[in-house]
A and B are shown apart, each in its own frame.
Chain A
Amino acid sequence: MTAVYDDLGDEATSDIPVRRIKFTINGAKKIAEIEPRLLLSHLIRRGVGLTGTHMGCDTTNCGACTVLVDGKPVKSCTMLAVQVDGREVTTVEGLASASELHPLQEGFRQEHGLQCGFCTPGMMMAAKGLLERNPNPTEEDVRWALSGNLCRCTGYQNIVKSVLWAADKLRAEAQ
């Protein structure tokens, strides 16, 4: 990928460390050439070009940039891109299959789980992490699992309902 930085004139080209990494994103295998200081969120948005992962606070507070790394939800603004070498990343774009929405996406539509939509990708990925660990969550479990994701529109009520809706649907599908 290409990353462009300001040249402060204090370094020779040969001093700039570059690493080559291999990783999988939403099932597709990728190779990237990056500086170790590049953040995972930047690799996803600017490198791979998947802009569904949002940058909100950029300070580990809001959870808008949540993605799954090896199945676990993490804040992609707080992980170095170089750390996903050999690992598997899933973003919100990896939820839907062909023309089928994922039950979580369907749930957010059915239960009006979003207004401006900025926090939604992070909410969905945190919820996906929850449902993989606990397919039958209580309302309290959902609130607990989403407590690292901030939403300034909905007051959370409909987000919680959306996740519970998705959990019901996923359980019904599994039977």
Chain B
Amino acid sequence: MYPSRFRYEAPRSLDEAIGTLRDGGDYAKILAGGQSLVPMMKLRFASPELIVDINNVPGLDYHRAEADGSLHIGALARHADLEWSPVLKATQPTMAAAAPMIADPLVRNRGTLVGSLCHADPQGDWAAVMISLGASVVAQGPRGRRVIPVTGFVTGPFENALEHDEVAVEAVVPPAQGARAGGYLKLERRVGDFATCGVAVALETSAAGEVIRAGVGLTGVGGSTINASEAAAALVGQPLTPEAIEAAADLAARAAQPRTDHRGSAEYKRHMVRTFTARILGGASGTGLATATERAA
């Protein structure tokens, strides 16, 4: 299979890339990892007139923790960079759990976190993770830089908030106010399949074990990535008791809008959201599987 014909530019700097996009007409696409874009072009789901390949732009392949505790992930940081990252392993439990679950090892060598956010596939794992962490995307265009929270960046299935002449240059995870805990669980039929469902939980806890901040993001159970904000809010201001976990898991399941398809029934997916939420929270509380439902199973 071939993509349909397009013009190809491989700029050597961000300014050049932005200039190319600005002059590039209506249907330009940025090529980073290409692990979603190239298959879509081959299947002719996407037929961009112009491809702006940013792989030759130097200095975008970083991920680093800044002095203030924030984590910055450049547009060319590959999933594999994050999977094997000591920084993530030490400081970002939710991201460290998610990175090895993205697609398969070969795709992880090319695909990027920022590209995944831009692609905004409701089945994409990173959007749920970054929503749970309260992360943002930094966009750079001819009018300068702006910071867009991921909750507002993903505007719908396969839609993002970028202007046509803007490049998403990095994702930023804000500093933690307490100790980080959390995780990402994904149900998939086999390696590389899209999620039947996925749950991302990010917590910050005080020394006394009280939850200071919580975020819950859901993958693949709605027309877009779901921010289960009520489940998150229910966790804040108290320790992770079995009752709190049970309540949050119920709220997460209620926030899901699953549809029955070949990956499972809506009822099954909703049940798995509840189970995964409780399982991650149980792990974070140190009590293991913590809900009555799970104890009965």
Question: Which A residues form the contact surface with B (CB < 8 A)?
Answer: 5, 11, 16-17, 19, 35-39, 58-61, 63, 66, 72-75, 77-80, 82-83, 85, 126, 129, 144-149
Q: Enumerate B35-52 residues with CB–CB distance to A below 8 Å.
A: 35, 38-39, 41-43, 51
List of A residues within 8 angstroms of B31 by Cβ: 80, 83
Give 27 A-B contacts (CB < 8 Å), ordered by A residue.
Answer: A16-B5, A17-B7, A17-B8, A35-B5, A36-B6, A37-B3, A37-B6, A58-B1, A59-B43, A63-B106, A66-B106, A73-B105, A74-B109, A75-B106, A75-B110, A77-B42, A78-B34, A78-B35, A78-B107, A78-B110, A80-B8, A80-B51, A80-B53, A82-B8, A83-B31, A126-B105, A148-B103
Question: Using Cβ atoms and an 8 Å threshold, which residues of chain A touch B26?
Answer: none
Q: Which residues of B contact A147 (CB under 8 A)?
A: 104-105, 191-192
| Nearest Cβ on chain B to A30's Cβ, whole angstroms | 18
| Residues of chain A within 8 A of B109, CB atoms compared | 72-74, 129
Chain A's interface: helix, strand, loop or mixed, by majority? loop
Decide yes or no: A36 and B39 within 8 Å by CB, A16-B5, A58-B1 being known contacts: no
Q: Which of B1-22 contact A (CB under 8 A)?
A: 1-8, 10
Asked whether, in the complex, the Cβ of A74 is within 8 Å of the Cβ of B5, the reply is no
Question: CA–CA, A38 to B191, complex, Å?
Answer: 28
B55 at the interface (CB under 8 A from A): yes
Question: In the bound complex, how far is the Cα of B105 from the Cα of A146, in angstroms?
Answer: 8
**Contacting residues, chain A, for B55 (C-beta < 8 A):** 83
Contact of A60 among B3, B105, B107 (CB under 8 A): B107
Q: Please give, as numbers and ranges, the residues of chain B lying within 8 Å of A66 by CB-CB distance.
A: 106
Question: Sorted from nearest, which 5 A-B pairs have the closest CB atoms?
Answer: A148-B104, A36-B8, A148-B106, A147-B191, A37-B3
Q: For B35, B38, B43, which residue has the most chain A Cβ atoms within 10 angstroms?
A: B38
Quote the shortest CB–CB distance from A145 to chain B (angstroms).
6
In contact, B2 and A37 (Cβ under 8 angstroms): yes
Q: How far is the CA of A60 from the CA of B80 in the complex (A)?
A: 17
Within the assembled complex, what's the spacing in Å between the Cα atoms of A75 and B103? 12
Indicate if the CB atoms of A74 and B106 lie closer than 8 Å.
yes
A-B CB pair tally, cutoff 8 Å: 90
Beta-carbon contact of A79 and B10 below 8 Å: no
Determine how close the nearest CB of chain A comes to the CB of B228; give it in whole angstroms. 29
Q: How many angstroms between the C-alpha atoms of A77 and B1 in the bound complex?
A: 9
- Chain B residues near A145: list those with CB within 8 A: 105
> Which residues of B come within 8 Å of A, CB atoms?
1-8, 10, 31, 34-35, 38-39, 41-43, 51, 53, 55, 80, 103-107, 109-110, 191-192
Q: Which residues of B lie under 8 Å from residue A146 when comparing CB positions?
A: 105
Contacts of B4 in A (CB 8 A): 37
Please determine whether B2 and A60 come into contact, CB atoms closer than 8 angstroms. no
Partner of A83, one of B2, B3, B53, B104: B53
In the complex the two chains form, what is the Cα distance from A9 to B34 in whole Å? 29
- Known interface pairs A58-B42, A60-B39. Does A75 touch B5 (Cβ–Cβ under 8 Å)? no
User: Do A36 and B106 contact each other (CB < 8 Å), given the known contacts A78-B39, A80-B34?
Assistant: no
Given the known interface contacts A17-B7, A36-B8, A58-B1, the answer about A144 and B34 at a Cβ–Cβ threshold of 8 Å is no
CB distance from B42 to the nearest CB of A (A): 7
Q: Which residues of B contact A36 (CB under 8 A)?
A: 6-8, 51
Separation in Å of the A147 CB from the closest CB of chain B? Answer: 4
- Give the docked Cα–Cα distance between A83 and B53 (Å): 8
Residues of A within 8 A of B7 (CB): 17, 36
B39 touches A59 (CB 8 A): yes
B104 touches A5 (CB 8 A): no
Which of chain B's residues has its CB closest to A37's CB?
B3
Whether A148 contacts B192 by the Cβ 8 Å rule is: yes
Given contacts A17-B6, A37-B2, A80-B31, 5 further A-B contacts (CB under 8 A): A38-B2, A39-B2, A79-B38, A147-B104, A148-B104
> How far, in Å, is B262 (CB) from chain A's closest CB?
16
Q: Are B8 and A60 in contact (CB under 8 A)?
A: no
CB-based nearest B residue for A36? B8
Shortest CB distance B190–A (Å): 9
